[in-house]
Structures are given as C-alpha cells and as structure tokens.
Amino acid sequence: MLKHLSIQNFALIDQLSIDFKKGFSVITGETGSGKSIMLGALGLIIGERADLQSLKDKSKKCIIEGTFHISSESLATFFDNNDLDFETETIIRREITPSGKSRAFVNDTPVKLTVLKELGKHLIDIHSQHQTRLINQSNFQYHVLDTVGDTQNTLLSYQKEYDRYIHLVKELEHLNELQSKAVQEQDFIRFQIEELSKIDLDTNKQEVEEEYNLLANAEDVIRLTNETENIINNEVSGIINGLQQLEYIISKLEKIDSSYQPFAERVQSSIVEIQDINFELNNKISSLEMDEKRLQELDELLGEINHLEKKYNVLSIEELKATKEQLIQQENTFNSLEDSISKLEKEIAEQINTVKTKGKKLSEERKKSAKILEKKIPTFLKDLAMPNAQLKVAFSPLPSFNRNGLEAVAFLIKTNKGTDFSPLNKIASGGELSRIMLTIKAILAEKENLATLIFDEIDTGVSGEVANKMGEIMKKMGNTIQLISITHLPQIAGKGTTHYKVYKKDTNNETNTHIETLSDEQRIREVATMLSGTPPSNAAINNAKELLEI
C-alpha cells in the first residue's frame, strides 16, 4: 500500500508531503485545485513518461518520492531478478532535471523506466476518468474474464504456443523470400558454375605457362642447343677438344712433378661433366617437337584462365576453384530451400492444431468465467439503481485466431425489461457506465493481488442514493485493499475512513497546491460545503453529520 507521498516543484506544487492510510480514503477539492496533479505525480513514480513542462520552476529539479509497504513475498522474486534490495518499506523516487533528464530509483538503486513500470503494475492501479471507456475495449474484457476465472495460466500457455506459431510463420516468410530471390539468381549462378567448369581448376598454371613458353620458343631452343653442341664438340676449338689437349699437357707435367696429379684428375672430371651436359641437352631437344596444335591448346587454356581470373576478380586459379565451390554451395542451399519450406509448412500445420487445442481450452474456461460475471454483476447493479440490468458475454469465432484467443468477446447489456442485449456503448449512459465499471473493479479487487487502487471520479454521472450505494461498495472494497477515491459527491466522501482535501493558496504572487488530512470537524464542514456550497447551511451541516455518522 501507499504510505507516503512527497512532491517537489511539480506543476502547481512547490512542496507537498502527505501520509496515506489503509482502508477507504477520499480526496476532495474544488475543480482545478490540483487533484489531477497529484495523480500525475503518482503516475511518474510508476513509470509514466516525464514532461519538462511539468516543472513549476524550470531552473530547479523536480523530485517525487513514494513510500510503499510491500507485504507480498511474491514481489521478492521481481526485486531479485532486477538486482534490487527487497524492503517491506520500499521507496521509489523519480527526478526530472531542468535539462529534461529523467532518473528513477528503487531503494536508492537506479532503475530503467521499463523496470519501474513493471513494478508499478503490482503496486497501484490508477483508474482515471477516461479509463471508464476501457470497458468497451476487447483487451479489457478479456482481462476481466481471465481474472475472474483465474485463467491466466491457461492464457499464458496458449500465448506461448501462439508466439511459437508466429515465429514459424515469420521464418516461413523469410524462406519464401529467399526462394523468390533464388528463382531470379539460380540461372545466373548455374551459368557461372558451368563457366568455371569449362576448365580443369586443378590445373597447375605455372606448369602450363612453362610448357607454353617452351613450345612457343622451340626453334630458338633447338638452335641454341645445337650451337652448344658445336661449342662442346668442334674438332678445332671445341671444349672437349681443348680439355683433352689440356689433359695431355698436364700428364707430361705430372711425369716431371707428381704434384700435378690433382690437376689432371680435375680436368678429367670436367671432361666427364661436359660430356654429360652435352648428352642431356641432346636428349632434351630430341623430345621437343614443333606441336602447333598443342601450342594453340595451351594458349587458349591460359587465355581462359586469365579471363576468368579477371572476371571474378581473383589472383589465382586456386581462388577460382574456391569461387566455384562457393557457388555450388549456394546452389545447393537454394535447392534445399524447397525441402525446408515443405518441412516448415508441415510444422506450422501441426502448430496450428496445438494453438487451436490450447485455444479451445481457454475458450471453455472463459465461458465459465462469463457465467460467474453474468451472475455477479446484476447483483451489484441492483443495489446501484439498475434493478433490471443484465449482462451477457457474447463469444464469436474470429476469422483467424490472435494472441487473445480463438474467439472475439463482447460485453452486452440490457438495462430494462423487454429490451434486447446491446453493446455497452450503444445503450449505457455515462452514469451507468460508471456504475458498471465500479462493479467490475469491485469484482476484480477480490481476485487481483493489488495493494492500492485509485479512482479518479469514477462516480461521474451519478448522484443521490446511487452515489450512496457506490460509496458503500467502495467502503467494502477498502476492507481488503487500500482504495483512494477522488470525488465531488458528498455521499461518497462521507464513506471514507480518511478524508484528504486538496486546495490552492496564493502566496508571494504565485499559486500553490496543498493537501491536508481533515479532522472530524473539518470533514463535517467540507461535506456540508459539498452539499450546499459556501458557507454551508445548518441543514447541510446536520446532513453532513448524518452522512459521516458523527
């Protein structure tokens, strides 16, 4: 429950501090006194968006702080999951700087607004005036049914399967997009693969180039080799002839001086080496032929390799081979898309059956919830001067199931005998909608684990005995939760166990909003003023005492 609220530099509030009590409390005050400003401040500490224009003094920081008593141990898990210190007396603070920067803290630990908003859902439900219209919205009606019938777990189970179905559908859409692109690209990829398949990509380009160069220069090779043979073997000046003469001379020297023997051996070795060179050169050119056909083949092969390397922007035949393998892999991926799509379509069909099975269970439980609601609401409305009102929850199949279920839900009502059921917004007046919404909130309060509920003039459009009955319902709700109601009706104000008054006061050429807790005497005068105006008449004062049972 909300125990304390302090506000600094917000709208018309310079400084405000107030303690709240358990049970049913009422807040009254003139129109424009600042009651809605307090709700706006409360909204900020449960994660609503901050507005720099809300600062009273644009040069100072706005600070809003709320102290909450948290008795629910179930929230301890939330605190633990978000690395927050769990305290039964939890302080939430929101700050807005003059630059527009907003910061939030839970027990002095900085938190993101998403965390603050999630925590706020468990602490306060602020029902503003425009939210009465929610009763006509399908999401709210689903929420009412699921809360009344405790079907939240069934809903979560259904939504888990529905979310998986949506995930599969999106995956299928992605595969279909890929396949669509594949149809456009596949022919070109196949052409590239065929183009790269025209040559053997395992070919050693260096060896091909060497063979090409040899064949292209075959005449020069033969001519030069023959010249080499002539140099080696010429009878007059050949190398062999010269070496043999040198060998003869050294042999004579050796007879004179034995130290010349090593020279003789070296010359002999040179003769053998030169003869071997001559033999191998002759063998080499003996296998060399002027093969024009082979030369042309090599020329075409090298031309094709160079063309492909340039076209595919690579530097080697090895890279061409890698490019071809990538293209083949891409083509295989495209070919496997059809199988993947077929498999996924079957999986989606099975998931649809699972969703429908879960959805049918949800529908069955909601229909039981509807029976409970149809029985309870007329009982409440009878006490609120709608004795003939009946509620009917209509279910109709959706064209396609959605995250809420398989069926659309509509709350229908008839307020008079002999009339037909119609949608709430077609038949119910503003005052009737207020009574119906209060009834629903009262039923939900029995089910929801909520500490604090705030009504902002939920009694709009009612008066007299109806207002008195609404006050009785709120007072009863205050027995189980902290209920705070902003009201202009004396009948409801008289039912509160605690009464707060919001008022404006002019000081130093500025207007400030204030709030105070009223004593019994102050309550009598406030309620009497609500009954008859200022100053209140004696009759109004006596009537106020009667309403307050003082």
Query: Is residue 428 pLDDT above 80, yes or no?
Result: no
One domain, residues 106 and 194: no
Read off the pLDDT of residues 164-175 as tens digits, 9 standing for 90 and up: 999 999 999 998
Mean pLDDT of 262-280: 86
One domain, residues 120 and 194: no
Edge to edge, what strands does the sheet with 405-414 contain? 390-402, 405-414, 422-423
Mean pLDDT of 473-490: 91
The distance from CA 371 to its chain's CA centroid, rounded to whole angstroms, is: 37
Q: Last residue of a domain, which of 333, 350, 379?
A: 333
Give the lowest-confidence range in 43-52, 80-89, 391-400, 407-416. 43-52
One domain, residues 200 and 294: yes
One domain, residues 209 and 304: yes
The alpha-carbon radius of gyration of the chain (Å, integer) is 48
Question: Does residue 169 fall inside a structural domain?
Answer: no
The average confidence (pLDDT) of the chain is: 87
**Burial of residue 528, with CB atoms counted within 10 A of its CB: 0-12 exposed, 13-18 middle, 19 or more buried:** buried
**Burial of residue 53, with CB atoms counted within 10 A of its CB: 0-12 exposed, 13-18 middle, 19 or more buried:** exposed
Say what the pLDDT of residue 308 is: 85
Say what the pLDDT of residue 234 is: 72
Question: Does residue 458 fall inside a structural domain?
Answer: yes
The CA distance from 540 to 343, in Å, is 79
Say what the pLDDT of residue 344 is: 94
Query: Is residue 237 pLDDT above 70, yes or no?
Result: no
Mean pLDDT of 397-403: 94
Query: Is residue 411 pLDDT above 90, yes or no?
Result: yes
The CA distance from 115 to 94, in Å, is 13
Question: Does residue 152 fall inside a structural domain?
Answer: no
The CA distance from 117 to 194, in Å, is 61
Handedness of CA 294, 295, 299, 302 (dihedral sign): positive
Residue 21 Rama label (left phi>0; alpha psi -120 to 50; beta): beta
> Which one, of 547, 401, 371, lies nearest residue 472 by Cα?
547
Query: Is residue 348 pLDDT above 70, yes or no?
Result: yes
Q: Kindly indicate the confidence band of residue 236, based on its pLDDT and cuts at 50, 70 and 90.
A: low
Mean pLDDT of 110-126: 90
Question: Does residue 402 fall inside a structural domain?
Answer: no
One domain, residues 7 and 104: yes
Question: Does residue 248 fall inside a structural domain?
Answer: yes
The CA distance from 196 to 185, in Å, is 17
Question: Does residue 283 fall inside a structural domain?
Answer: yes
Q: Last residue of a domain, which of 270, 304, 333?
A: 333
Q: How many domains does the chain have?
A: 2
Say what the pLDDT of residue 161 is: 96
Say what the pLDDT of residue 153 is: 93
Q: Which residue has the higher pLDDT, 211 or 17?
A: 17
Mean pLDDT of 449-466: 84
> Which one, of 79, 72, 71, lies nearest residue 106 by Cα?
79
With b for 16 or more beta-carbon neighbours within 10 A and e for fewer, the 120-151 pattern comes to: bebbbbbbbeebbebbbeeebbbbbbbbbbeb
Residue 429 contacts residue 437 (beta carbons within 8 Å): no
Read off the pLDDT of residues 23-70 as tens digits, 9 standing for 90 and up: 999 999 988 888 888 888 999 999 888 877 788 888 899 999 999 998
Beta strand 482-486 with 24-28 is parallel
CATH assignment at residue 109: 3.40.50.300
Q: Kindly indicate the confidence band of residue 235, based on its pLDDT and cuts at 50, 70 and 90.
A: low
Say what the pLDDT of residue 337 is: 81
In degrees, rounded to 5, the angle at the alpha carbon of residue 132 between the alpha carbons of residues 130 and 134 is: 95
Say what the pLDDT of residue 5 is: 95
Question: Does residue 406 fall inside a structural domain?
Answer: no
Give the lowest-confidence range in 66-70, 256-260, 347-351, 413-417. 256-260
Peptide bond into 535 cis (omega under 30): yes
53: domain range?
Answer: 1-127+449-518
Query: Is residue 288 pLDDT above 70, yes or no?
Result: no
Read off the pLDDT of residues 499-543 as tens digits, 9 standing for 90 and up: 999 999 888 788 899 999 999 999 999 999 999 888 888 998 999
Say what the pLDDT of residue 228 is: 79
Say what the pLDDT of residue 33 is: 87
User: Rounded to two decimals, what is the model's pTM?
Assistant: 0.67
Where do the DSSP E strands lie in 317-434?
A: 390-402, 405-414, 422-423
The CA distance from 51 to 54, in Å, is 6
**Burial of residue 524, with CB atoms counted within 10 A of its CB: 0-12 exposed, 13-18 middle, 19 or more buried:** buried
One domain, residues 203 and 108: no
Mean pLDDT of 461-474: 87
Element (H, E) at 320: helix 317-383
Residue 218 contacts residue 290 (beta carbons within 8 Å): yes
Q: How many residues in total does the chain contain?
A: 550
Residues of the chain with pLDDT > 70, as a percent, come to 97
One domain, residues 328 and 193: yes
Read off the pLDDT of residues 299-311 as tens digits, 9 standing for 90 and up: 788 888 888 888 8
One domain, residues 105 and 201: no
Query: Is residue 284 pLDDT above 80, yes or no?
Result: no
The CA distance from 203 to 207, in Å, is 8
Q: Kindly indicate the confidence band of residue 290, based on its pLDDT and cuts at 50, 70 and 90.
A: low
Angle between helices 464-477 and 317-383 (to 10 degrees): 120
Query: Is residue 127 pLDDT above 70, yes or no?
Result: yes
Say what the pLDDT of residue 21 is: 93
One domain, residues 188 and 329: yes
> Which one, of 431, 370, 487, lies nearest residue 127 by Cα?
487
Query: Is residue 289 pLDDT above 70, yes or no?
Result: no
With b for 16 or more beta-carbon neighbours within 10 A and e for fewer, the 274-294 pattern comes to: beeebeebeeebeeeeeeeee
Say what the pLDDT of residue 366 is: 96
Residue 168 contacts residue 347 (beta carbons within 8 Å): yes
Q: Which residue has the higher pLDDT, 407 or 446?
A: 407
One domain, residues 107 and 194: no
Query: Is residue 328 pLDDT above 90, yes or no?
Result: no
Q: Give the Å distances, CA to CA, from 14 to 11, 38, 334, 506.
A: 8, 12, 68, 12
One domain, residues 197 and 85: no
Coil, strand or helix at 49: coil
Question: Does residue 173 fall inside a structural domain?
Answer: no
One domain, residues 100 and 236: no
DSSP sequence for 221-274? HHHHHHHHHHHHH-TTT-HHHHHHHHHHHHHHHHHH-GGGHHHHHHHHHHHHHH
Query: Is residue 72 pLDDT above 90, yes or no?
Result: no
Q: Last residue of a domain, which of 333, 351, 370?
A: 333
Mean pLDDT of 222-243: 75
Quick count: other Cβ atoms within 10 Å of Cβ 44? Answer: 26
